[in-house]
Amino acid sequence: MGYPDQRFDVNLSILFTELPLLERPAAAAAAGFTAVELWWPWIDTPTPEQGELDALKQALDDAGTRLVGLNFYAGRLPGPDRGAVSVPGEESDRFRANIDVAADFAASVGCTALNALYGNRVEGADTAVQDELALENLVLAARAAHRVGAILLIETLNRPESPLYPLVSAPAAIEIVDRVDAATGLGNARFLLDVYHLAMNGEDVSGVIARYADRTGHVQIADMPGRGAPGTGELPLERLLDELREAGYDGYVGLEYKAADAAASFDWLPVEARAAR
């Protein structure tokens, strides 16, 4: 029972953001963590200079931290954008330009999970056209992930905070997982089970775990309300993580919560539980 039985990583795009990007891996290591994840760090470009990629790899290596999850380019995040794969025009083009860049960087640091945020509905655009575009782009992303030995993650967000994002239930995300796998034949698409987003949508999180744990490639947590650290809200996070483990999930649990002082926000987690085993 309990948090020490999990493998945790820290999302450096939402925690330690008071520090420059290249200082965050060392800060996570100083707090006792050996695994981290990131949203696409360069929101203004899907194709940063190789020197920027090399510098991030060096920062991860120097800190002794492993990158276990990385988003493909997803627009302005945090911000109004919620991905690019289904957004016609320039954003879709930027996503495609990013696919091999992100996959190759993941391979260079041993990252085996790549997350592709679906993208918002666009006013005036045909939703069927957006969904067809999304599938084309996700197929390309799944093939690139397969090329580097990674899985492709499909994430549910929540309607109150992302009203234009169409995947706001676990079944909606699983449907996309199935469509991608059917189109590629690779079987490397997985569900990203974010407990906070599911709870914000009013879903039965325990029921989602029971039904989809075997389809889950990554888990993220934050408490609700407030999206704070475990213990700041009302979610039974320890019990839910026990249910995940009992259902067979043994992957990483990403800490994707907000905290003004990241280093001071880990008191809920024993030091011995922070280093991924």
As given in the structure block, the two tokens for residue 201 are 């949508």
Residues 85 and 138 sit within 8 Å (Cβ to Cβ):
yes
Q: If we measure between CA atoms, which residue out of 111, 94, 211 comes closest to residue 153? A: 111
**CB proximity list for 209: less than 8 A, separation 6 or greater:** 193, 240, 243, 244, 247, 249
Task: Let me know the angle formed at the C-alpha of 150 by 14 and 271, rounded to the nearest 5 degrees.
Answer: 45
Q: If we measure between CA atoms, which residue out of 134, 21, 39, 23 comes closest to residue 88? A: 134
As given in the structure block, the two tokens for residue 273 are 């539980």
- Count of CB atoms situated within 10 Å of the CB of 266: 22
Q: Using CA atoms, how far apart are residues 108 and 111, in angstroms rounded to an integer?
A: 8
Q: Is the dihedral of CA 51, 56, 57, 62 positive or negative?
A: positive
> Which amino acid type is present at position 211?
R
Per DSSP, the three-state class of 167 is coil
Q: 256 catalytic, yes or no?
A: yes
> Which of the following is catalytic: 37, 91, 155, 203?
155
Residues 79 and 120 sit within 8 Å (Cβ to Cβ):
no
> Which amino acid type is present at position 148?
V
How distant, in Å, are the alpha carbons of 74, 139, 207 from that of 144?
A: 17, 9, 32
Active site residue ranges: 155, 256
